[in-house]
């Protein structure tokens, strides 16, 4: 019952994860169109400007702006229509003074034109139009490179690829990109109570919680089932599964109880990176290395398991992929104070206050976190170990988790 008496601090645990020489995760080439959510391993620059040609922003008539000089209600100016251009049309039209081209949104401007008058501001007459306003060069025109200039950096190495990244890359000539291959994480649960033969049997929901919370386009979580409270069985499960995985997660089997046998099962086959951290909840979280791959051991309670992995798993991912921080964070004001235990990094579920949408309130006190607390939470606040909570109206950082 005394295996967790020498707990390390949260920052020390992060340092150990970040500095350990884990097995590298390789790169693969992906189609840009199918790379959403993946992690780029290269910088991407625009190969061409967007747009590549001067084009119309409206439906109307392309003219030479100089020809509109002096146009007014008292002095309408007439233009002869010499042709029509739609988006995608390669038709070449050259205009002379006093001429215009009927043009549609997205179509490239005919040679010599530098402005477009909107259709609703032009009066049609036989064979042409009449306008009553002067146009300056560039009116209703999108210039070359106005959206994206050539050589503009679209994505940085380590960025998680988003929808606008994809659109920009495809629009400026990039169809392939090097990305980190999918990280494969296996998860299984331990506990006699997870089997139907137990008089006190319960459902094995922890591994499903881990899968649904952490799985993403760059991380696949595979459910590996369950084990009895038996050190040999747990050890065999890990050794049998580790070759096909990049990392593993074991839920349950890591607490003060005499039947929590994960430390015993792994101590003989793996290197202990840390065993117990001063965090609440989840102080019994442990990390091992087997064949250069991490094995995380966390609580069997789904909410505590999620929070422990939320604190540690991203640091392993960053260590092997170089991903830039993509977590969603907001600075928000407390409607009520947050209380924490000195010496422990404390994670507290918070929700947006019903009375004031700009403030947050704690859902729980930051000790054990119930499933109901996570259901109510809009985010998580992390209180450092050198702070005994925060007073009302303090501005704190909130991590969105929904």
Domains of the chain: 10-26+181-321 (3.40.980.10), 29-50+146-179 (3.90.105.10), 55-142 (2.170.190.11), 329-400 (2.40.340.10)
* Confidence band of 365 (pLDDT split at 50, 70, 90): low
Query: Over 90: is that where the pLDDT of 158 sits?
Result: yes
Q: Among residues of the chain, what percentage have pLDDT more than 70? A: 95
Q: Among residues of the chain, what percentage have pLDDT more than 90? A: 72
pLDDT 10s digits, 291-315: 999 999 999 888 899 999 999 999 9
* Confidence band of 194 (pLDDT split at 50, 70, 90): confident
Terminal C-alpha separation, the chain: 36
Instruction: Specify the pLDDT at position 374.
Output: 86
pTM of the entire predicted model: 0.86
Instruction: Specify the pLDDT at position 234.
Output: 94
Q: How far is CA 222 from CA 210, 226, 245, 357, in A?
A: 10, 12, 9, 38
Sign of the torsion formed by the C-alpha atoms of 10, 307, 281 and 236: negative
Q: Mean pLDDT, the chain, as a whole number? A: 91
Q: For strand 141-142 and strand 176-180, is the pairing parallel, antiparallel, or unpaired? A: unpaired
Instruction: Specify the pLDDT at position 402.
Output: 63
Q: What residue ranges in 353-394 does DSSP mark as E strands?
A: 359-362, 379-383
pLDDT 10s digits, 42-84: 999 999 999 999 999 999 999 999 999 999 999 999 999 999 9
Mean pLDDT over 315-332 rounds to: 90
pLDDT 10s digits, 247-274: 999 998 655 454 568 888 998 899 999 9
Question: How many residues does the structure list for the chain?
Answer: 402
Instruction: Specify the pLDDT at position 100.
Output: 96
* Confidence band of 169 (pLDDT split at 50, 70, 90): very high
Closest C-alpha to 80, from 136, 134, 125: 125
Q: What DSSP character marks residue 87? A: T
How far, in Å, CA of 247 to CA of 317, rounded? 10
Q: Are 63 and 117 in contact (CB under 8 A)?
A: yes
Instruction: Specify the pLDDT at position 400.
Output: 85
Instruction: Specify the pLDDT at position 39.
Output: 97
Query: Over 80: is that where the pLDDT of 33 sits?
Result: yes
Instruction: Specify the pLDDT at position 371.
Output: 80
pLDDT 10s digits, 197-246: 877 778 888 999 999 999 999 999 999 999 988 999 999 999 999 999 99
* Confidence band of 1 (pLDDT split at 50, 70, 90): very low
Instruction: Specify the pLDDT at position 292.
Output: 97
């Amino acid at each position: 019952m005394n295996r967790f008496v020498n707990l390390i601090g949260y920052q020390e645990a992060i340092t150990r994860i970040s500095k350990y020489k884990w097995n590298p995760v390789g790169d693969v080439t992906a189609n840009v169109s199918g790379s959403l959510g993946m992690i780029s391993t290269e910088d991407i620059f625009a190969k061409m400007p967007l747009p590549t040609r001067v084009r119309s922003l409206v439906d109307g008539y392309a003219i030479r702006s100089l020809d509109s000089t002096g146009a007014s209600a008292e002095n309408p100016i007439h233009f002869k229509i010499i042709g029509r251009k739609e988006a995608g049309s390669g038709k070449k039209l050259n205009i002379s003074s006093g001429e215009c081209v009927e043009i549609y949104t997205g179509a490239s401007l005919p040679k010599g034109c530098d402005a477009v008058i909107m259709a609703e501001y032009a009066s049609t007459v036989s064979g042409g139009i009449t306008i009553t306003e002067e146009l300056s060069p560039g009116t209703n025109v999108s210039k070359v490179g106005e959206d994206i200039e050539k050589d503009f950096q679209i994505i940085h190495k380590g960025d998680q690829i988003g929808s606008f990244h994809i659109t920009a890359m495809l629009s400026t000539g990039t169809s392939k990109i090097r990305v980190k291959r999918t990280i494969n994480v296996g998860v299984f649960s331990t506990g006699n109570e997870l089997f139907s033969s137990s008089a006190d049997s319960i459902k094995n929901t922890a591994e499903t919680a881990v899968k649904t919370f952490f799985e993403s386009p760059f991380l696949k979580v595979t459910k590996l089932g369950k084990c009895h409270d038996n050190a040999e069985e747990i050890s065999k499960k890990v050794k049998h599964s580790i070759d096909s995985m990049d990392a593993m997660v074991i839920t349950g089997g890591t607490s003060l109880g005499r039947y929590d046998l994960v430390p015993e099962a792994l101590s003989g086959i793996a290197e202990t990176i840390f065993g117990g951290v001063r965090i609440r909840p989840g102080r019994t979280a442990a990390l091992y290395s087997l064949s250069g791959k991490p094995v995380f051991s966390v609580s069997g309670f789904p909410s505590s398991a999620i929070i422990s992995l939320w604190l540690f798993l991203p640091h392993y991912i960053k260590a092997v992929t170089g991903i830039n921080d993509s977590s969603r964070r907001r600075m928000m004001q407390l409607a009520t104070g947050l209380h924490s235990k000195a010496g422990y990094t404390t994670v507290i579920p918070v929700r947006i206050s019903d009375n004031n949408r700009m403030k947050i309130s704690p859902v729980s006190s930051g000790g054990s976190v119930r499933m109901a607390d996570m259901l109510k939470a809009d985010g998580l606040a992390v209180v450092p170990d050198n702070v005994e909570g925060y007073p009302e109206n303090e501005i704190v950082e909130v991590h969105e988790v929904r």
